[in-house]
Amino acid sequence: MRIKTTLLVAVLLISLSPASVNGSSDQSATKKYTVTMKKAHLPTAPKNGTDDYRCFLLDPKVTEDSVIRTIQFVPQRKNFVHHAIIFRVTDADIPQAVAEDKNGNGWPCFGGSGLGNMLSSFVSTPWISSWAPGRGKDISPAGYGTPFKKGERFVLQVHYNLLAANGGKIQTDQSKIVMEAVPAKGAKVKQLHVELFPAPVELACPANVTGPLCDRKLSLIDLASRTSKMSAFESAGINIICGQDPFNPVASLTSRCDKVITSNFTVIAAAAHMHLLGRTLSMTLNPGKPTEKLILDVANYNFDDQSGVVLKTPVMVKTGDTIRVTCTFDPTIRQKLPELKNLLPRYITWGEGSSDEMCLGVISATK
């Protein structure tokens, strides 16, 4: 199932507190790399859509194996860039990425990077960092970092939310990435990786709100037409993973999913990702058991500030443990927000458009 790859869209989504990377005391060894999209991109959405997901291949021209100390996406058009994800492209996918990029024009990529196949993409184009409103520079905490080998490149996925364009005017965008890294030789750091915890979203139209898209089936057909054909399957896949009937799910203002862990790791940081109707998100280790621990509690979710949280005390997670993600939503907000109130009422599911929703907990962990 493509779910592991497509979930990378969200996210994402962890902003770590300022700290240096251990293992290289010589700060003069830090190198700064700045790389800008080759060409300015004019966002356009699929038929009847309001969102453009576009991937671009960027070459920072790193000449030695390195450890990323900081990385930052710098959007040119902050008003309608919904989020961005930076992937690291390894040798396995560089030829495909070069072909897809068409010398800087990029390629449509609802979901993940669109490189490799549904099973290999997560390995050959791993997630490095992301940007969302309220986010700044990703700075690794002391003792941690992300490897980046000589000659590797970035795939930058940008989600353009055309609903947010000032006065409806769409302008070209030519954003950039700024990275600071130290030589890998001699650096002693622990490698961070991302774990994703999605939950289904099933929001019926509020009372006294009607329209053809309040029918779930018609809403999913519309979702596929304005984003991608895989979107409806993605929504069904999350329902299956979380124990809901994908054909007849129960609509609820609360989304919840329990994930049984299959490896040992230590949680260093956590973050929440929903869209404009999200109210709260929490992540809990082993709910209802003596070993229960609250990992993340976002009591007043703000889409414009998706900063992550570095845990005061890292949480150890073992094989067989359970992590639960829980989200709450208020679909009545849809009739009030300027960017949503003029859209047709709809049954809202998990989807990659700005007018759809997500419930996604994200943790940054080390083995």
Closest CA to 243 of 286, 199, 203: 199
Closest CA to 157 of 230, 71, 87: 87
Structure confidence at residue 10 (pLDDT) = 35
What pTM, to 2 d.p., does this model score?
Answer: 0.76
Structure confidence at residue 334 (pLDDT) = 94
| Rounded CA separation 108/115 (Å) | 11
| Rounded CA separation 330/278 (Å) | 7
Structure confidence at residue 301 (pLDDT) = 95
Question: What would the pLDDT profile of 66-82 be if each residue is shown by its tens digit?
Answer: 999 899 999 998 888 98
Please report the domains of the chain, with CATH numbers, ordered by start residue.
3-189 (2.60.120.310), 193-366 (2.60.120)
- Residue stretches of the chain with pLDDT short of 70: 1-28, 111, 117-125, 166
Structure confidence at residue 102 (pLDDT) = 92
| Rounded CA separation 119/124 (Å) | 10
| Rounded CA separation 150/279 (Å) | 43
Spell out where 274-321 has E strands. Answer: 278-285, 293-298, 309-317
| Rounded CA separation 211/151 (Å) | 53
Structure confidence at residue 275 (pLDDT) = 92
| Rounded CA separation 113/126 (Å) | 9
Neighbour order of strands in the sheet with 278-285: 254-260, 322-329, 278-285, 293-298
| Rounded CA separation 89/177 (Å) | 15
Structure confidence at residue 125 (pLDDT) = 64
* Sequence-distant (≥ 6) Cβ neighbours of residue 361 within 8 angstroms: 196, 197, 198, 270, 271, 272, 273, 281, 283, 295, 296, 323, 325
CA–CA distance from 214 to each of 8, 95, 198, 208, 331 (Å)? 28, 44, 23, 11, 12
| Rounded CA separation 108/93 (Å) | 16
